[in-house]
């Protein structure tokens, strides 16, 4: 008997936006990093390319995921493989779960087709899935996941996909991610912001521009190893997001709780709204995770960049 080939596996990282959400849609830079948590895709032999759908999805979610996977299959030549998914990332809270899933599927399908899943090719295939999930995403989520690096991402006006410039950190960059209740649907939050921006364009353009400047300043602070400056940029960014009407009492409470636990900076990450994920920048994240967990807060820590302990 011929030896059985080992099962294929591929990982897609979740992401956090340290600085620049929402303004990135309007052509300004955003600073984003990959989480250690994400989505793992596993592949086994099959007669045709197919996806085993998770059992906990609603009917619309199943239809959307099926359509997205079909795009990825077409982009990779529909290799004969059955794909299953396993996530250790909280879903629909602003941590890039759809992008992580897209990158995991892209990498696995590329492997099954006998191709090297380079960051560029993984991003190309994942982008097809992300368009099915979000229509016109900024591209920051799947770019960060595919590159698995801290990046300063920008999509110039008039272009479809932007570019992520790697940002190197001479110091370990640790964040604590804490969940603060159920998040509003992203489409509703973005749609309401778009309406306000259309009604008062000059005011909102100034806010988006300032968020972009803060993101660029934060990237320079990372490269200089000035984590206090990065934390301050995060705090300023949170104030600007609140000015845009994107924060809420649960998010603000968690922001101040993280700061009270020693965070150099803390802010919401992702779309914002009624709830979702909040991030805090810590030199030592362990004590904060322990205390929050004891208080019943769902949280975890992740290193986004910098030297890692051996």
Residues assigned a catalytic role: 141
Please tell me the distance from the alpha carbon of residue 31 to that of residue 76, in angstroms, as a whole number. 30
The secondary structure of the chain in percent helix, strand, coil, rounded to multiples of 5, reads 45, 20, 35
User: Which ranges of 76-96 does DSSP label H, i.e. alpha helix?
Assistant: none
Q: What is the largest CA-CA distance in the chain?
A: 71
Please tell me the distance from the alpha carbon of residue 284 to that of residue 277, in angstroms, as a whole number. 19
- State the first-to-last Cα distance of the chain, in angstroms, to the nearest integer: 42
Q: What is the CA radius of gyration of the chain?
A: 19
270 contacts 90 by C-beta, under 8 angstroms = no
144 contacts 111 by C-beta, under 8 angstroms = no
Please tell me the distance from the alpha carbon of residue 34 to that of residue 15, in angstroms, as a whole number. 4
Beta bridge partners of 278: 178, 268
Q: At what angle do helices 119-134 and 59-75 cross, to 10 degrees?
A: 150
Please tell me the distance from the alpha carbon of residue 265 to that of residue 174, in angstroms, as a whole number. 11
Burial of residue 138 (number of CB atoms within 10 Å: 0-12, 13-18, 19+) = buried
Torsion of the alpha carbons at 46, 50, 56 and 61, rounded to the nearest 10: 180
Please tell me the distance from the alpha carbon of residue 72 to that of residue 51, in angstroms, as a whole number. 11
Q: At what angle do helices 119-134 and 97-112 cross, to 10 degrees?
A: 130
């Amino acid at each position: 008997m011929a030896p059985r080939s080992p099962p294929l596996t591929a990982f897609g990282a979740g992401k956090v936006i340290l600085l620049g959400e929402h303004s990135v849609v309007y052509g300004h830079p955003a600073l984003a990093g990959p989480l250690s948590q994400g989505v793992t895709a596993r592949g086994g032999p099959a007669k045709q390319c197919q996806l085993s759908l998770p059992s906990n999805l609603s009917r619309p979610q199943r239809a959307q995921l099926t359509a997205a996977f079909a795009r990825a299959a077409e982009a990779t030549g529909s290799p004969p493989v059955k794909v299953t998914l396993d996530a250790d990332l909280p879903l629909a809270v602003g941590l890039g779960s759809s992008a992580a899933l897209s990158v995991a599927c892209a990498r696995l399908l590329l492997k099954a087709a006998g191709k090297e899943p380079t960051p560029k090719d993984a991003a190309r295939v994942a982008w097809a899935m992300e368009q099915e999930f979000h229509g016109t995403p900024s591209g920051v989520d799947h770019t960060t996941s595919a590159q698995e690096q801290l990046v300063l991402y920008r999509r110039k006006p008039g272009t479809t996909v932007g570019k992520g410039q790697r940002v190197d950190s001479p110091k370990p960059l640790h964040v604590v991610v804490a969940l603060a209740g159920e998040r509003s649907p992203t489409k509703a939050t973005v749609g309401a912001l778009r309406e306000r921006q259309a009604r008062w364009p000059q005011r909102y353009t100034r806010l988006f521009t300032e968020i972009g400047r803060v993101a660029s300043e934060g990237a320079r602070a990372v490269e200089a190893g000035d984590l206090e400056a990065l934390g301050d940029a995060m705090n300023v960014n949170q104030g600007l997001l609140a000015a845009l009407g994107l924060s809420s009492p649960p998010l603000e409470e968690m922001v101040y709780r993280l700061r009270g636990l020693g965070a150099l900076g803390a802010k919401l990450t992702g779309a914002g709204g009624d709830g979702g994920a909040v991030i805090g920048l810590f030199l030592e994240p362990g004590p904060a995770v322990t205390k929050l967990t004891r208080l019943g807060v769902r949280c975890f820590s992740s290193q986004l960049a910098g030297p890692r302990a051996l």
